[in-house]
Amino acid sequence: MEMLPKEKTLELRRKHIGEACRLWYPTRPLKIVRAKGQHMYDEQGNAYLDCINNVCHVGHSHPRVVQAAAEQMAILNTNSRFLHDTLVQYAERLTRTMPEKLSVCFLVNSGSEANDLAIQLAQKYTGHKDVITLDHAYHGHLQNVLAISPYKHKLLGKDAKKKWVHVVPPPDMFRGEHCKAENPGEAFANDVKVTIDKAHAGGRKIAAFFAESLQSCGGQLVYPPGYFRNVFRHVHQAGGVCVADEVQIGFGRVGKHWWGFQTQGSDIVPDIVTMGKPMGNGHPIAAVVTTPEIAASMGRGGYQYFNTYGGNPVSCAVGMAVMDIIEDEHLRENATLVGDFLRKELLELKQRFKIIGDVRGMGLFIGIELVQDRATQEPAANEATYIVEFLREKFILISTEGPFCNVLKFKPPMCFSMEDACNLLARLSEALQELESFSVEELEAVAKSKQLPVHRQSAKPLLLPVVDVDEDDLISGPSKSNDSPTTLSEDSGLDLSPSREIEDVNDLNANISRPKKRQKIDL
């Protein structure tokens, strides 16, 4: 699988790939040569537990996804200007997971394209221009979506924010201005109302309110009840539409629901929903789903929307396989089960370690916010970087997020098991314990160099040292099962694999070794 020595790969990358395309772990980049389930393997065969990838949603290299793509590729791949059953069946299937009025799809290739198209649709439908966006939001890398992504503005200079964009504070229940209000949902929504009034006073008109249904780049925020209900009312009164960006959190990541906006109530119906990343499990497919009326506005004046690759038969076959797997392997149930367990255990860690200021999330979308001091909420960013580096030493991949880079962000493939959760919790607990022995200067050095001091690095892998790469497996992938590599469950005799029928949650929980016990297991 490795065609070049790592040094050569690095050298060619430096020479031929834009410097702005950054690597994770820049000081000691990882070379990942294959992946399966919730594990990624480097060129030496070391297995890393992936807590980062919300794209390979149903598990890396899932054989059913691979098979669907390969079979369709061998038959036909062309654009959506020809009739094709898979396109319409997929659109029908996708919209079945949505409220009834969201029945029309535009299929595209990336989350950025989906959000760009959503802006166009909102502007055409309303005849207005302006967009309200949440601070710290990221909606993509194209000009217009960059303009509504304050996450990037700070780095692009003040001209990056356009006059037609209005930024409101996110409804942050840890740091936000109204987090202690009697009705925070209403209070945060009122910020949107104030912004609308100001825009109107300046002669501007609102086309859309744009928000992720739970904010990822802003630090894994879960909004207070009533936020969307109140915001949507204000925006509709202003003649605008509401766009829910589900690019990161859609397709059941929140567990109980297919879509994040549904966590705000069954009566909450955005006018436009955008989705991407998990939709194709790594294959580039994304979509805008909206009402027939809004969709019709795109065709006004005889305008034709054409997207060369959007909705091609291969993408649709892949998309369909992903939805089948989510259902057949009970991945939403798994997200609820494992996510609830993780959050409960993380709250226990919060009792032990003062540095944990907040634990939040839903399903397999979790944020752990680190602070120097719970009273002042001073962010602990260097400490967060240290934990990322520590976990890498333990072969666990996790990232930081949020405006202060002090939130540990957890969004793994949806087949993440109870066993993986125990492993993560045990290592995190070790990291927090060790952290206490680090001086401020040492932590600064870790944050600067993005690596642990050499004497603190572990010499050998703790999770599955070396995995033989079976060439047959690589060639005939589709016919093989999506088995995870050997993990603790095989030692313990427990069947914790997410693909089995999850019938009795208590039973499964009862069989789980708690993190404290797990720490004693020498791997």
Question: Does residue 406 belong to the site contacting ligand PLP (CB under 6 A)?
Answer: no
Stretch that binds ligand PLP, among 78-86, 121-129, 132-140, 202-210 (CB under 6 A): 132-140
How far apart CA 75 and CA 195 sit, in angstroms, is 52
Question: Does residue 139 belong to the site contacting ligand PLP (CB under 6 A)?
Answer: yes
Going from the C-alpha of 29 to that of each of 3, 24, 448, 450, 451, the distances in angstroms are 17, 6, 15, 10, 11
Q: Which amino acid is residue 508, in one-letter code?
A: L
Q: Which one of residues 59, 63, 111, 311 is an interface residue with ligand PLP (CB under 6 A)?
A: 111
- Residue 272: CB minimum distance to ligand PLP, A: 13
- Residue 118: CB minimum distance to ligand PLP, A: 10
Between 314 and 421, name the residue whose CB sits nearer to ligand PLP. 314
How far apart CA 411 and CA 50 sit, in angstroms, is 9
Q: Please list the alpha-helical segments (H only) found in 306-397.
A: 313-328, 331-352, 381-393
Q: Which amino acid is residue 327, in one-letter code?
A: E
Phi-psi region of 361 (alpha: psi -120 to 50; beta: other; left: phi over 0): left
How far apart CA 32 and CA 41 sit, in angstroms, is 6
Q: Which residues pair with 49 in a beta bridge?
A: 39, 396
Closest CA to 399 of 93, 62, 22: 22
| Bridging pattern class, strands 356-362 and 396-397 | unpaired
Stretch that binds ligand PLP, among 138-146, 193-201, 322-330, 367-375 (CB under 6 A): 138-146
Give the alpha-carbon dihedral of 63, 65, 69, 71, to 10 degrees. 50
Stretch that binds ligand PLP, among 119-127, 137-145, 350-358, 408-416 (CB under 6 A): 137-145
- Residue 249: CB minimum distance to ligand PLP, A: 8
Stretch that binds ligand PLP, among 116-124, 133-141, 263-271, 477-485 (CB under 6 A): 133-141
Q: Which one of residues 43, 116, 172, 212 is an interface residue with ligand PLP (CB under 6 A)?
A: 212
Question: Does residue 282 belong to the site contacting ligand PLP (CB under 6 A)?
Answer: no
Question: Does residue 115 belong to the site contacting ligand PLP (CB under 6 A)?
Answer: yes
Question: Does residue 213 belong to the site contacting ligand PLP (CB under 6 A)?
Answer: no
- Residue 3: CB minimum distance to ligand PLP, A: 26
Question: Does residue 315 belong to the site contacting ligand PLP (CB under 6 A)?
Answer: no
Stretch that binds ligand PLP, among 107-115, 405-413, 501-509, 513-521 (CB under 6 A): 107-115
- Residue 11: CB minimum distance to ligand PLP, A: 27
Closest CA to 211 of 174, 171, 173: 171
Q: Which two tokens stand for residue 452?
A: 């642990």
Stretch that binds ligand PLP, among 242-250, 347-355, 361-369, 449-457 (CB under 6 A): 242-250
Stretch that binds ligand PLP, among 134-142, 163-171, 349-357, 499-507 (CB under 6 A): 134-142
Q: Looking at residue 513, what DSSP letter applies?
A: P
Question: Does residue 281 belong to the site contacting ligand PLP (CB under 6 A)?
Answer: no
How far apart CA 360 and CA 320 sit, in angstroms, is 31
Structural contact between residues 167 and 135, judged by C-beta atoms closer than 8 angstroms:
yes
Between 195 and 216, name the residue whose CB sits nearer to ligand PLP. 216
Between 139 and 257, name the residue whose CB sits nearer to ligand PLP. 139
Question: Does residue 401 belong to the site contacting ligand PLP (CB under 6 A)?
Answer: no
Between 115 and 482, name the residue whose CB sits nearer to ligand PLP. 115
- φ/ψ of residue 279, rounded to 5: -55, -35
Question: Does residue 276 belong to the site contacting ligand PLP (CB under 6 A)?
Answer: yes
- Residue 375: CB minimum distance to ligand PLP, A: 32
- Residue 471: CB minimum distance to ligand PLP, A: 32
Question: Does residue 216 belong to the site contacting ligand PLP (CB under 6 A)?
Answer: yes
For the residues of 61-82, what is the DSSP string, one character each?
A: T-HHHHHHHHHHHHH----TTS
- Residue 115: CB minimum distance to ligand PLP, A: 6
Q: Which amino acid is residue 500, in one-letter code?
A: R
CB-based closest residue to ligand PLP: 111
Q: Which two tokens stand for residue 342?
A: 């993780």
Stretch that binds ligand PLP, among 105-113, 182-190, 376-384, 475-483 (CB under 6 A): 105-113
Q: Which one of residues 37, 99, 140, 219 is an interface residue with ligand PLP (CB under 6 A)?
A: 140
Binding mask 244-263 for ligand PLP (x = CB under 6 A): -x-xx---------------
Between 139 and 427, name the residue whose CB sits nearer to ligand PLP. 139
- CA 283, distance to chain mean position in Å, is 15
3 state SS for 197-247:
HHHHHCCCCEEEEEEECCECCCCCECCCCCHHHHHHHHHHHCCCEEEEECC
- φ/ψ of residue 162, rounded to 5: -90, 160
Sites for ligand PLP among residues 326-345 (CB under 6 A)? none
How far apart CA 355 and CA 211 sit, in angstroms, is 29
Question: Does residue 112 belong to the site contacting ligand PLP (CB under 6 A)?
Answer: yes
How far apart CA 294 and CA 105 sit, in angstroms, is 11
b vs e for 175-208, b when ≥16 Cβ sit within 10 Å of the residue's Cβ?
bbebeeeeebbbbbbbbbbebbeebeeeebbbbb
Between 54 and 297, name the residue whose CB sits nearer to ligand PLP. 54
Residue ranges that bind ligand PLP, judged by CB under 6 A: 110-112, 115, 138-141, 212, 216, 245, 247-248, 276-277
